[in-house]
Chain A
């Protein structure tokens, strides 16, 4: 069985982000970029499944400008066997990513498609669900535990939902999106970094895959949230009542 993992190149989680002066978006020049943390978890899960003997190959996929190759190299250095880059110069919205992934799935025929639950730059949490819909595959989202049963050709997924944990049993092929507590991603070891240099990265363009890049969304403006005012320390209950009455108008 082949596992396909989609990974996204985003501003590093630990960077203090700033909004561009023209308010068109977040500053990404000269800022550290890394693999989306949830995508790292997705890749780690795929590698674990392969190491347990239940899959033959892990293919990492990314989409975007050519420097997304860096993210794929990280994936290869972690242990993925092959990588695919769909080169696109414009920002891709989740629906477009899902449509492109569908084409790649038709070429590669994986039994499992694993993604991070959301990207930390747009927090959309849509791609996994959309691709499952487009493919007509079952989906196990917000996975905190994944157990594959090769014989039954099914996978049991524990999902973190509002009320607690929900366990689903899904027949392959399946889309899984990963949540934080699923696993702890491995580091890229030097021997693997060395091996990664000879692993292939195949490039496609959206035209080759017959997908039109269009977006129904237009970003009008990006601004920082308003700064919170400092609290005020009051000296008496009377003062509190006065403020609640005359300033906050709640009593």
Chain B
């Protein structure tokens, strides 16, 4: 196989970065990084590796949080970051076709010039790539308005383990011809194939964006506020996020240039509500009316409304900065759970009781989607702390028929935990599909599905 000099990397320093995940929790020992520049090169790589039973780790922006994007041992890393071209954009339909290595923030800027936006947005946008977003079925901050990638991705091109290229790069809104295989690749975290191109439906950029930063006394107020928001202004609601007092405290202490939008004292819960619509004064009136009535009803203790884009960005900086603040504070155990909204915060309270003074329990997340990011912050990683957290967290979630991974995926971290959220028969069928598409098991081994399935 012939590749350009730039596409084959064996330099130790470069390898160290790509062998380690963003949280510095997982480190592999791969000796080879490949950066293909085209689908054909990806196909050649996989064909070769498959014939020699060489394991491969597909990698994009390496911003995943479950150790899914770095090698466990010495798997070959195939990073699609060099495949970063925008192939086409239809300004009438808003359908964007691009290569998997495009960085999300770059796509957002490109679309901004055209009057459109990406249907997903997350804190990692400066580094994460669309191929990785699709492979992990990333959720993010706007899912409550635009839905999941399963709905927005119209087509994709993927390379199978044996090097076969599956061209499913449709740009049609509706296509009911046969089994919709693209859905297998959305969310399978690179274990069924490497996504090389994506075709995605993008919503028009609406001119009126309003955002409020609110304080609530207790979790049940946050919940009632969500119900009221959906009822009174559901058609313009574009984000509904929450963070508790611990999360806010961490952000204020560990991030530069961040200030609390609300005057003292600190409140137990903070909620961020964003609306997006086409009429500035109508939306603003609606939002103000909703907020004032919620305040009169006692659901909100205090709040501010952003008056310009700068203030709006500063509110988002707080919410999006929580993971970064947690990293700076020391060791962090991350859990990403889908739970019934009424019970969501009970888990945080339970964990606080369980851990006592040994660690700090932080709760925040996409309240609008029933998605809790439960984080335990400790000065150092300590197995005694881990014992108190797992499997308690998973059992608690399973008991409430929740998901042990709402949007982060299973990766390496939760590869053996799937039974907490899926039945044995379902997992067995997943195993059959894996065996069908990747008989030699070269794609991202040790991850996603339980190791016990390999026999």
A15 at interface by CB-CB < 8 Å: yes
- Whether A74 contacts B300 by the Cβ 8 Å rule is no
* In-complex Cβ contact of A12 among B113, B214, B259, B309 (8 A): B309
Cβ distance B134 to chain A, nearest Cβ, rounded Å = 28
CA distance A194 to B212 in the complex (A): 14
Which chain A residues lie closer than 8 Å to B302 at the CB level? 189-191
Which chain B residues lie closer than 8 Å to A246 at the CB level? none
A228 at interface by CB-CB < 8 Å: no
CB closest chain-A residue, reference B113: A16
CA distance A12 to B308 in the complex (A): 7
- Whether B288 contacts A14 by the Cβ 8 Å rule is no
- Whether A193 contacts B288 by the Cβ 8 Å rule is yes
* In-complex Cβ contact of B306 among A37, A40, A187, A194 (8 A): A187
CA distance A40 to B307 in the complex (A): 10
CB closest chain-A residue, reference B301: A190
Which chain A residues lie closer than 8 Å to B280 at the CB level? 32
A34 at interface by CB-CB < 8 Å: yes
- Whether A190 contacts B308 by the Cβ 8 Å rule is no
- Whether B309 contacts A193 by the Cβ 8 Å rule is no
Cβ distance B79 to chain A, nearest Cβ, rounded Å = 26
- Whether A70 contacts B281 by the Cβ 8 Å rule is yes
CA distance A14 to B280 in the complex (A): 17
A31 at interface by CB-CB < 8 Å: yes
A188 at interface by CB-CB < 8 Å: yes
B313 at interface by CB-CB < 8 Å: yes
Give the residues from 92 to 114 in chain B that come closer than 8 angstroms, CB to CB, to chain A: 112-113
- Whether B292 contacts A15 by the Cβ 8 Å rule is no
Cβ distance A249 to chain B, nearest Cβ, rounded Å = 37
Cβ distance B240 to chain A, nearest Cβ, rounded Å = 17
Give the residues from 241 to 281 in chain B that come closer than 8 angstroms, CB to CB, to chain A: 259, 261-263, 280-281
Task: Using known A-B contacts A14-B309, A14-B310, A16-B112, determine if residue A189 contacts B304 with beta carbons closer than 8 Å.
Answer: yes
Which chain B residues lie closer than 8 Å to A16 at the CB level? 112-113
Cβ distance A177 to chain B, nearest Cβ, rounded Å = 20
Cβ distance A74 to chain B, nearest Cβ, rounded Å = 5
- Whether A190 contacts B292 by the Cβ 8 Å rule is yes
Bits for A3-15, please: 1 = Cβ < 8 Å to B, else 0: 0000000001111
Bits for A48-88, please: 1 = Cβ < 8 Å to B, else 0: 00000000000000000000001000100110000000000
Cβ distance A63 to chain B, nearest Cβ, rounded Å = 19
CA distance A32 to B302 in the complex (A): 26
Bits for B43-87, please: 1 = Cβ < 8 Å to A, else 0: 000000000000000000000000000000000000000000000
Cβ distance B298 to chain A, nearest Cβ, rounded Å = 13
- Whether A194 contacts B303 by the Cβ 8 Å rule is no
CA distance A31 to B309 in the complex (A): 11
CB closest chain-B residue, reference A10: B308
- Whether A31 contacts B292 by the Cβ 8 Å rule is no
CA distance A95 to B53 in the complex (A): 79
Which chain B residues lie closer than 8 Å to A194 at the CB level? 292, 295
CA distance A15 to B213 in the complex (A): 21
Interface size classification for chain B: 20 to 34
* In-complex Cβ contact of B292 among A32, A35, A193 (8 A): A193
- Whether A32 contacts B309 by the Cβ 8 Å rule is yes
Task: Using known A-B contacts A12-B309, A14-B309, A194-B292, determine if residue A32 contacts B207 with beta carbons closer than 8 Å.
Answer: yes
CB closest chain-B residue, reference A194: B292
CB closest chain-A residue, reference B310: A14
CB closest chain-B residue, reference A34: B308
CB closest chain-A residue, reference B306: A187
Which chain B residues lie closer than 8 Å to A30 at the CB level? 207
Give the residues from 184 to 205 in chain A that come closer than 8 angstroms, CB to CB, to chain B: 184, 187-191, 193-194
B305 at interface by CB-CB < 8 Å: yes
CA distance A3 to B282 in the complex (A): 32
B376 at interface by CB-CB < 8 Å: no
- Whether A188 contacts B305 by the Cβ 8 Å rule is yes
Which chain A residues lie closer than 8 Å to B263 at the CB level? 189
CA distance A200 to B229 in the complex (A): 30
- Whether B291 contacts A190 by the Cβ 8 Å rule is yes
Which chain B residues lie closer than 8 Å to A32 at the CB level? 207-209, 280, 308-309
CA distance A35 to B303 in the complex (A): 20
Which chain A residues lie closer than 8 Å to B221 at the CB level? none
Cβ distance A220 to chain B, nearest Cβ, rounded Å = 27
- Whether B305 contacts A31 by the Cβ 8 Å rule is no
- Whether A190 contacts B309 by the Cβ 8 Å rule is no
Which chain B residues lie closer than 8 Å to A193 at the CB level? 288, 291-292, 305
- Whether B308 contacts A187 by the Cβ 8 Å rule is no
Give the residues from 80 to 108 in chain A that come closer than 8 angstroms, CB to CB, to chain B: none
Cβ distance B314 to chain A, nearest Cβ, rounded Å = 9
CA distance A190 to B300 in the complex (A): 10
B311 at interface by CB-CB < 8 Å: yes
Give the residues from 129 to 147 in chain B that come closer than 8 angstroms, CB to CB, to chain A: none
CB closest chain-B residue, reference A30: B207
- Whether A34 contacts B307 by the Cβ 8 Å rule is yes
Give the residues from 141 to 179 in chain B that come closer than 8 angstroms, CB to CB, to chain A: none
Which chain A residues lie closer than 8 Å to B309 at the CB level? 12-15, 32, 34
- Whether A13 contacts B310 by the Cβ 8 Å rule is yes
Which chain A residues lie closer than 8 Å to B213 at the CB level? 187
CB closest chain-B residue, reference A31: B207
- Whether B308 contacts A14 by the Cβ 8 Å rule is yes
Task: Using known A-B contacts A12-B309, A14-B313, determine if residue A190 contacts B112 with beta carbons closer than 8 Å.
Answer: no
Cβ distance A120 to chain B, nearest Cβ, rounded Å = 11
CA distance A35 to B306 in the complex (A): 12
- Whether A74 contacts B307 by the Cβ 8 Å rule is yes
Which chain A residues lie closer than 8 Å to B262 at the CB level? 187, 189
CA distance A187 to B307 in the complex (A): 8
Task: Using known A-B contacts A31-B207, A187-B261, A194-B295, determine if residue A13 contacts B304 with beta carbons closer than 8 Å.
Answer: no
Task: Using known A-B contacts A30-B207, A31-B207, determine if residue A190 contacts B304 with beta carbons closer than 8 Å.
Answer: yes
Known interface pairs A34-B309, A189-B303, A190-B214; 5 further A-B residue pairs with C-beta atoms within 8 A, sorted by A's residue number: A31-B207, A35-B308, A187-B213, A187-B304, A191-B302
> Which B residues contact A (CB, under 8 angstroms)?
112-113, 207-209, 212-214, 259, 261-263, 280-281, 288, 291-292, 295, 300, 302-311, 313
9 example contacts (A-B, Cβ-Cβ < 8 A) are as follows A12-B308, A31-B207, A35-B307, A37-B310, A40-B307, A187-B307, A190-B214, A191-B302, A193-B291
> Which A residues contact B (CB, under 8 angstroms)?
12-16, 30-32, 34-35, 37, 40, 70, 74, 77-78, 184, 187-191, 193-194
Q: Which 5 A-B pairs have the closest CB atoms?
A: A14-B309, A34-B308, A187-B304, A190-B303, A30-B207
